[in-house]
Copies of this chain bind each other. A is one copy, B any other.
Amino acid sequence: MTRIVGVDIEDVRFPTSLTADGSDAMNKDGDYSAAYVVLRTDGQGPDGDPLAGHGLTFTIGRGNDIVAAAAREQAAQLVGRDVADVVGDLGGVYRDLTADSQIRWLGPEKGVVHLSLSAVMNAVWDLAARAAGKPLWRLLADLSPEELVDVADLRYLSDALTRDEAIAILRAQEAGKAERIAELERTGYPCYTTSAGWLGYSDEKLRRLCQEAIDDGYNHIKLKVGANLEDDIRRCSIAREVIGPDRTLMIDANQVWDVPQAIEWTNALAQFDLLWIEEPTSPDDILGHAAIKRGVAPIGVATGEHAHNRVMFKQFMQAGAMDFCQLDTGRLGSLNEIIAVLLLAAKFEVPVCPHAGGVGLCEMVQHVSMLDFVAVSGTHEGRVTEFVDHLHEHFTDPCTVSGAAYRVPTQPGYSTQMHESSIAEFRFPDGSYWAGRLAETSA
Contact = CB atoms under 8 A, between A and B. Distances in A.
Contacts of A115: 106
B284 A110 contact: yes
Contacts of A27: 101, 104-105
A113 interface: yes
Give 5 closest A-B pairs by Cβ, nearest first: A111-B111, A112-B112, A159-B259, A61-B102, A62-B102
Interface string A276-312: 0000011111111001000000000000001011011
A110 B108 contact: no
Report whether over half of chain A's contact residues are helix, strand or loop; otherwise say mixed. loop
Nearest to A154: B258
Interface of A: 26-31, 59-63, 65-67, 69-70, 73, 100-115, 155-159, 255, 258-261, 281-288, 291, 306, 308-309, 311-312, 314-315, 318-319
A258 B73 contact: no
Copies in the complex: 2
20 contacts: A26-B104, A60-B102, A63-B105, A63-B106, A66-B66, A66-B70, A69-B69, A109-B282, A109-B284, A111-B112, A111-B113, A111-B114, A112-B113, A158-B260, A158-B261, A159-B258, A282-B311, A285-B311, A287-B319, A288-B315
A200 B258 CA distance: 45
A14 to B, nearest CB: 13
Contact of A287 (B107, B260, B315): B315
B113 A30 contact: no
Contacts of A111: 106-107, 110-114, 308
A321 to B, nearest CB: 10
Contact of A159 (B73, B158, B291, B319): B291
Contacts of A291: 159
A374 B113 CA distance: 38
A210 B354 CA distance: 53
A260 B160 CA distance: 10
Contacts of A73: 62-63, 66
A60 B259 contact: no
A322 B308 CA distance: 22
A20 to B, nearest CB: 13
B112 A106 contact: yes
A286 B285 contact: no
A114 B101 CA distance: 19
Q: Which of A103, A115, A156 is most buried by chain B, counting CB atoms within 10 A of its CB?
A: A156
A420 B402 CA distance: 63
Given A30-B101, A111-B113, A156 B285 contact: yes
Q: Which of A112, A114, A283, A291 is most buried by chain B, counting CB atoms within 10 A of its CB?
A: A112
